[in-house]
Amino acid sequence: MSKGITSRKTDYSQWYNELVVKADLAEHSAVRGCMVIKPYGYAIWEKMQAALDKMFKDTGHSNAYFPLFIPKSFFSKEASHVEGFATECAVVTHYRLKNDGSGNIVVDEEAKLEEELIVRPTSETIIWNTYKGWIESYRDLPILVNQWANVVRWEMRTRLFLRTAEFLWQEGHTAHATREEAMEETARMLGVYADFAENWMALPVVRGRKTENERFAGALDTLCIEALMQDGKALQAGTSHFLGQNFAKAFDVKFTAKDGKLDYVWATSWGVSTRLMGALIMAHSDDQGLVLPPKLAPIQVVIVPIYKNEEERQTIGGLADTLIAELKSKGISVKYDDRDTHRPGFKFAEWELKGVPVRIAVGTRDMENGTVEIARRDTQTKETVSQAGLADRIEQLLETIQHTIYEKALGFRDANTVEVETYDEFKRVLDEQGGFVSAHWDGTVETEKLIKEETKATIRCIPLANKEETGVCIRTGKPSTQRVLFARAY
């Protein structure tokens, strides 16, 4: 098959757009700014969901579901929160359509809602209004709830997976009796996200804290994981927020403590979205198509028979049946592509495009020799191996591939993380190389905004692993005690 994908060096953005569509992950819909996630793309998201959902439940969380529509008045109760989302909200004003008598369907002006409804951009307000009825004393705490849902944020410029008006995500919302418990939860969930990114997505991340200017609207503290894409731009891959008592105060959610005193509940929220799909694609894939870590690949192994007649097809099919059973018993997903409508070369290219980690080709000569050909998607190398012990070999190979993909991404990130001392050096690295730039900053919002205006680089995070280091801000020359991580970002 002809892939016809623009190379990354020619136009990285175009490469990404074409790959998402040609690999059958998603496509634009009839609704402006929204996407259709196709079965193959959704299968990857389902694997992400399954892994994360288990992690959430292993840390004591349960799933629930809250309304898609939120009364407008709820947003006005937490001023910084509404300010952060006001320009992105979709608003429902009417509840009925009618025929205008000329065959046109129009909004019935008489069916105006008494109060407008906001289509969920995030759920803090509706959930904390609900928690008010759930919490009376310390015995009702903690509440550890997660929601898998869709949200709407009205984006003007959209890209599949990375930025769409409607997207899928999960949002955790927890309630605690003490500040310390809430802060521990915030850190714990950041750890869950980092674990998932590195051990499932094979995506190395920097754990950090957002600056005051970059915090989630309504939060006292925002922790994040930041990843580096192959074009040198950063992508925020997950956030965990310490909300303090802001939402509890806004919705009057109090509890009776063990000492009999009334206090406001402490809160967190945390989330990741289908934006992770974009990260997965951009961090690992190449000019031939997707490169998927085995743990998230819908199909981990594809077997392609090469035959000339029905007898050869049946003989190879017998081997395939045995191998499929052995692989499935090990929890490995496998597809036997014996379509007679496409030649082997077409199949090779198709499964390479879709990022299947391991391809096994077996022909008549292989059957005679007791061998098969194994091709790795990540390194694009091939080897002929014995059929004996093949399932065990493939199981080990998938583990190797998972590790190799991570190490490659880690090597790229490390090679593209640069410490600078001056503003000229800062701008030169951004323009010539991109990547993460570690530099001193004076800690002020004014300087942060100035650097962004002049270079389009933002402070991605203050790394949690930072060590105190005396220096001067690259822009103002004022004293600094630690470095922060800058990058241009998605």
Is residue 2 very low, low, confident or very high in pLDDT (cuts 50, 70, 90)? Answer: low
Whether 1 has a pLDDT exceeding 80, the answer reads no
Whether 155 has a pLDDT exceeding 90, the answer reads no
DSSP of 301-356:
EEEEEE-SSHHHHHHHHHHHHHHHHHHHHTT--EEE---SSS-HHHHHHHHHHTT-
Is residue 82 very low, low, confident or very high in pLDDT (cuts 50, 70, 90)? Answer: confident
Residue 449 tokens read as 């905004």
For 331-355, the pLDDT digits (tens) are: 999 999 999 999 999 999 999 999 9
Smallest CA-to-CA distance from 169 within 254, 82, 277, 76 is with: 277
Taken in order 53, 56, 58, 63, the sign of the CA dihedral is: negative
265: which DSSP letter?
A: P
Cα–Cα distance for residue pair 265/141, rounded to 1 Å = 9
Smallest CA-to-CA distance from 173 within 227, 137, 129, 119 is with: 129
Whether 162 has a pLDDT exceeding 70, the answer reads yes
Is residue 144 very low, low, confident or very high in pLDDT (cuts 50, 70, 90)? Answer: very high
Q: What value does the mean pLDDT take over residues 98-108? A: 95
pTM higher than 0.85, yes or no? yes
Whether 233 has a pLDDT exceeding 90, the answer reads yes
Across the chain, mean pLDDT equals 97
For 264-274, the pLDDT digits (tens) are: 999 999 999 99
DSSP of 5-48:
PPPTTT-HHHHHHHHHHHTTSEEE-SSTT-EEEPHHHHHHHHHH
Contact 229, 280 (CB under 8 A): no
Q: What value does the mean pLDDT take over residues 44-60? A: 98
Whether 237 has a pLDDT exceeding 90, the answer reads yes
**What is the structure's pLDDT at 78?**
83
Whether 84 has a pLDDT exceeding 90, the answer reads no
**What is the structure's pLDDT at 140?**
98
Whether 178 has a pLDDT exceeding 80, the answer reads yes
Q: What value does the mean pLDDT take over residues 89-98? A: 97
**What is the structure's pLDDT at 300?**
98
Whether 79 has a pLDDT exceeding 80, the answer reads no
Is residue 81 very low, low, confident or very high in pLDDT (cuts 50, 70, 90)? Answer: confident
**What is the structure's pLDDT at 201?**
98
Contact 428, 457 (CB under 8 A): no
Contact 392, 326 (CB under 8 A): no
